[in-house]
Amino acid sequence: MIIQRHTTAVVKIFIFWIFVSLFCASKQDCVWYGVCNTDALNHNQYCSYNGTPKEMPEDGLKLLTERCSFLLQAEEKKFCCDVDQVKILNENIKLAAAILERCPSCMTNLARHICELTCSPNQSKFSRAAATKTNDEGDLYVTSLDLHVTEEYINRTYKSCSQVSVPQTGQLALDLMCGAYPASRCSPTKWFNYMGDANNIYVPFQITYIQHSTNSTKNGITPINPKTTPCNESVNFEMPACSCTDCDLSCPQSPDEAIPKPFNIAGFDAFTVIMTVVFTVGSIVFLLGTFLFTKDFINDENFQIGNDGATDDSMYRQQPRYFEKLGARTEYFLENIFTRLGTFFATYPWLTLFGGASLVTLLGYGIVYVEITTDPVQLWAAPSSKSRIEREYFDSKFEPFFRMEQVIIKAVDLPYIVHNTSNGPIKFGPIFAKDFLARVLDLQQQIQNIEANGTFLHNICYAPLKDDNTMVKASDCVIQSIWGYFQDDVSRLDDNDEDNGFNVTYLDELYDCISNPYLCLASYGGPVDPAIALGGFLKQGEQLTGSTKYEQANALILSFLVHLIILGLNLKTMKIVSRKLLYLERDNLFTHKNVENIKSEIKGMSNVEIQR
């Protein structure tokens, strides 16, 4: 009996131990807690911990408010991190903030998952320690972590940060934060993978981002899906939305053109009403004139009827109408006046010629005082106007502004190009065909080498990085051409590389340069604006934005900047250049437009009017 009771007690204790173990296992909410190791690069690594969250002291709660205040909304102030980890968290976020802080929505979106990763009291629901090591004290610390996150969060965070710029370098933030990929070839997956790559000197351990669809749960894993805020919206009342420079959605949209109200009168089309009134009034006037001013009568005294009953037409008379009388009087008056004038001039011919010549001379004498103004500044700006004063000051301190000569080249009967990349296929316009680009470069070099009266392009071009005492070469001239991205080197068309099994060619490099021209400076030392070097990429009604698809252009534009003051002194030279361009047209099958400045156009039109 005693043995049986002892056995029953042991069984109860065993069952109780099982329940306690299961309860404890169900409460293993954390993956780590505390700092257990510092590697050779001074990266802090966290202690492996499978227990429950611990109470955060007041100083730690204060630190959490800096970047992770949303974690404090829960009633319990228990977390899977200690004060040291929160300090490290804030320092790490500062590194990203130095680049992304100018767009608060982007920075907040990115920081949310870092806060969840570091301190969430439910770490075990979305993360697993993939690898651990032991420190000198025998404590385990995490060296690799699997983080389960939704595709929605990654994509939205990437979208909010994709256009953030770095003014200090003239680049986009993702040019600096996407590893070997420039911003143009970065993607949400590439960005987050780089931020978790242990080979990144800023990452303390490997973080593998495993993406899931929203609301998916598998093997006890529920991916985190932190709240995100679009870049054109403010996170809270204290933070503004991202600026237009860093977020296209924040840029003011041009208002839709107001549809003009139809011109109606009493609910009917105004033109129909007006024409009806005009027709009615005109008809009434005509009818009144016809009936009121006409008097027909029969002379009764001479009216007879013959024996045969026939009317004697010769005896029938009709009184002239009013309008007929008026016309006859007018005709008689004019005939009388001009008859007398003609008789006088024919009688005194020499007096007539002398008088006419004297009158013409007298009336035309004032032409000697006529001054034709062709300068648009004098035509459209008063001498005392602010714009006129500022313009004269600019010209006196610097020089008249340069002007642009352009050659527009359009591809004919060439197909679009579909280029496969690691981010998906990219559609390029027909002008990006390799042979076509090579011919454009050859044409550009021929234009650069045109000589007229001993003058070349480099003698009149705008070269901002050269002073007056330095000899200017053709490569120093500002030429807005797509070949500026390659420094006019045709061999760059044969560049090849590999990216995740995809061939990286000159098209990828052009795409990168178009996305950020400051990465590919031209030979003159400055950028090439794709909006100037390319054409035909905007559809009807579209405007330039940060997401404009320049790569789908169907025209190339060669723009040469020349000094206006030199151009005025060498007009004959420019005419010779224009004739030589006509020969190039014949040989290269392109057309050019010789654009005159406003002053030349006004002067030419004035001369034509005088000749008339």
- Residue pLDDT, tens place only, 523-578: 998 899 999 999 989 888 788 876 788 999 999 999 988 876 554 444 555 555 55
Please count the CA atoms within 13 angstroms of the CA of 236 that sit on its side-chain side: 7
Q: How far is CA 237 from the centre of its chain?
A: 30
What pLDDT sits at residue 13? 47
Q: Return d(Cα 400, Cα 409) in angstroms, integer.
A: 29
pLDDT reported for residue 293? 63
pLDDT of residue 20: 40
The 8-class DSSP code of residue 520 comes to S
- Segment 360-377 mean pLDDT: 84
The tokens describing 36, both together, are 């257990």
Instruction: Give which of 166, 63, 164, 71 is closest to 121, Cα–Cα.
Output: 71
% of the chain exceeding 70 in pLDDT: 81
DSSP strand pairing (140-150 vs 206-212) = parallel
Res 289: pLDDT: 73
Q: Nearest CA to 434 among 507, 533, 536?
A: 507
Q: Which two tokens stand for residue 111?
A: 């920081």
What does the pLDDT read at residue 26? Answer: 44
Rounded Cα gap, residues 548 and 287, in angstroms: 67
The answer to which of 7-11, 82-86, 530-534, 601-605 has the lowest mean pLDDT is 7-11
Contact 467, 477 (CB under 8 A): no
Structure tokens at 539: 């559809």
Per-residue pLDDT at 581:
56
Other C-beta atoms within 10 Å of 183: how many? Answer: 23
- Residue 268 DSSP SS3: strand
293: which 2 tokens? 């001013």
On the question of pLDDT at 432 being above 60, the answer is yes
Specify the pTM.
0.58
What is the C-alpha radius of gyration for the chain, rounded to an integer number of angstroms?
Answer: 44
CA 532 from centre of chain: 12
Confidence of residue 3 (pLDDT cuts 50, 70, 90): very low
- The SS3 call for residue 563 is coil
Cα angle for residues 316, 320, 325 (degrees, 5° grid): 165
* Block residue for tokens 């697993």: 128
- 44 phi, psi to nearest 5 deg: -85, 135
Rounded Cα distance between 88 and 91, Å, is: 5
Rounded Cα gap, residues 250 and 295, in angstroms? 82
Count Cβ atoms below 10 Å from residue 170 Cβ, excluding itself.
14
For the segment 20-25, the average pLDDT, to the nearest whole number, is 41
Domain ranges of the chain: 32-250, 284-369, 402-541+548-611
Query: Helix, strand, coil % (nearest 5) of the chain?
Result: 45, 15, 35
Asked if the model's pLDDT at residue 610 lies above 50, the reply is no
Q: How far is CA 443 from CA 55, 335, 447, 484, in A?
A: 73, 73, 6, 14
Instruction: Tell me which of 316 and 104 has the higher pLDDT.
Output: 104
Share of the chain above pLDDT 90, in %: 39
Taking CA atoms, 601 is separated from 376, 387, 572, 595, 597, in Å, by 10, 22, 16, 9, 6
Give the pLDDT band (50/70/90) at residue 16. Answer: very low
Please give the pLDDT value at position 567.
45
- DSSP result, 203-266: -SSEEEEEEE-TT--BTTB--B------TTS-SSSSSPPPPTTT-GGGSPPPPPPPPPPP-EET
pLDDT of residue 256: 66
**Quick one: pLDDT at residue 267?**
82
**pLDDT bucket at 505, cuts 50 / 70 / 90:** very high
What local confidence, expressed as pLDDT, does residue 79 receive? 93
Pair 209, 196: CB distance under 8 Å: yes
Distant-in-sequence, close-in-space partners of 305: CB < 8 Å, separation ≥ 6: 311, 312
Give φ, ψ of 161 to 5 degrees.
-110, -5
pLDDT at 394 over 90: no
Residue 450 pLDDT > 70? yes
Residue with tokens 């030279």: 573
pLDDT tens across 395-418, in order?
Answer: 788 777 777 788 888 888 899 999
| Tens-place pLDDT, residues 208-230 | 999 998 888 888 889 999 999 99
Contact 104, 237 (CB under 8 A): no
Q: What is the largest CA-CA distance in the chain?
A: 172
| Minimum mean pLDDT range among 76-90, 260-274, 340-354 | 260-274
Residue 61, pLDDT score: 92
Q: What confidence score (pLDDT) does residue 17 get?
A: 44
pLDDT tens digits, 127-158: 999 999 998 888 999 999 999 999 999 999 99
Three-state helix/strand/coil letters over 568-591: HHCHHHHHHHHHHHHHHHHHHCCE
Indicate the DSSP class of residue 485: G
Q: What's the average model confidence in pLDDT over 574-594? A: 54
Q: Which residue has the tokens 């790559």?
A: 197
